[in-house]
Structure 1
Amino acid sequence: MGLSVGTMIAGWDETGPGLYYVDSEGGRLKGMRFSVGSGSPYAYGVLDNGYRYDMSVEEAAELTRCSIYHATFRDGASGGVASERFESQLYVLLLSVYYVGPNGWKKLSGDDVAELHYNYYPVEQTVVEQVMAET
């Protein structure tokens, strides 16, 4: 039918955690981290820079939010492209982060990606703004 699907499947069994990428043709890859979709090169840039094997659940959730934000902000097909689109609030793009562990899954957060813009997009202060903030 011309559809393209990329899916991540996460779970836990007697052997421990499992994360798989499954494509449209049924191909399956096991891995430690994946990004799926047209914005995935942007997300991988953040993931590859910030990932550590010994991350806490909170650190991993923060890295997840940051990588998905950058994918949606930089990739037009993922919901973003320019900060003006985020600031206009013409749409709401929700991001949910889940933890999958030995006792099941738990939703950690649900965020409006436009709100994450103010956490992750670097905006440099002018000299005047810096002086004003310091006084």
Structure 2
Amino acid sequence: MGAYISSQTVKKIIEINPYMLGTMAGGAADCQFWHRNLGIKGPALYYVDSEGGRLKGNRFSVGSGSPYAYGVLDSGYRYDMSVEEAAELARRAIYHATYRDGASGGVASVYHVGPNGWKKLSGDDVGELHYKYYPVTPSTVEQEMAEVAGP
């Protein structure tokens, strides 16, 4: 199922019910098993690995691009962030993971989960996010040439 998980088009966030979301990276069968079994627990955010380990926390990144995403998350996260600030941080983290990791990419789907369930905030093509987070600026040589040429 590796091709399924590394696909650029498959939905990697699974809308299980109005209060529960699942994400997948790794084996699809493992993901399906844990999505069914975690549905019986109370509200929380868990990271579950294929060996059955379970960690409770307030932010996680999974998959081959996660080290890059963690760099952005760890440098930008604050406990008192607004929903909009957190969503922007999430988009930026996903973009940088896809930019640096060849097995990541596709769509940056951002959800907010609260007391009344989840709400999808955005679903941006990471190729389009490139122009927002990694804008191409003229090189130093091009800038110097423009200054010399004048108006």
TM-score (norm 1): 0.72
AA partner of residue 120 (structure 1)? Y
Structure 1 position 114 matched with structure 2 position 127:
yes
Structure 2 alignment gaps of length 5 or more:
3-24
Structure 1 position 67 matched with structure 2 position 93:
yes
Residues 106, 4 of structure 1: CA spacing in aligned structure 2 closer, same or farther, 3 A cutoff?
A: closer
Equivalent position of 1:24 in the other structure: 50
Whole-angstrom CA distance in 1 between matches of 2:117 and 2:145: 47
AA partner of residue 123 (structure 1)? V
Percentage of identical aligned residues: 72
Following superposition, the deviation at residue 128 of structure 1 comes to 6.2
Whole-angstrom CA distance in 1 between matches of 2:120 and 2:114: 11
Whole-angstrom CA distance in 2 between matches of 1:109 and 1:129: 40
Equivalent position of 1:104 in the other structure: 117
Point out the structure with max Rg over C-alpha. Answer: 2
115-124 or 48-57: which moved more? 115-124
Following superposition, the deviation at residue 130 of structure 1 comes to 8.4
Whole-angstrom CA distance in 2 between matches of 1:44 and 1:24: 20
Q: Give me the CA root mean square deviation.
A: 3.3
Q: Identify, as 1 or 2, the structure richer in strand.
A: 1
- Checking the alignment, whether the CA contact within 8 Å between 2:48 and 2:55 is kept in structure 1 is yes
Structure 1 position 53 matched with structure 2 position 79:
yes
User: What number of residue pairs does the alignment pair up?
Assistant: 116
Whole-angstrom CA distance in 2 between matches of 1:45 and 1:130: 36
Residues 112, 29 of structure 1: CA spacing in aligned structure 2 closer, same or farther, 3 A cutoff?
A: same
Equivalent position of 2:59 in the other structure: 33
TM-score (norm 2): 0.65
Structure 1 alignment gaps of length 5 or more:
80-92
Moved over 2 A (4+): 1-13, 122-131
Q: Could you give the per-residue CA deviations for residues 18-74 of structure 1, whole angstroms, max 9, x where no partner exists?
A: 211001111100111111011000000000110000000000000000000000110
Residues 24, 49 of structure 1: CA spacing in aligned structure 2 closer, same or farther, 3 A cutoff?
A: same
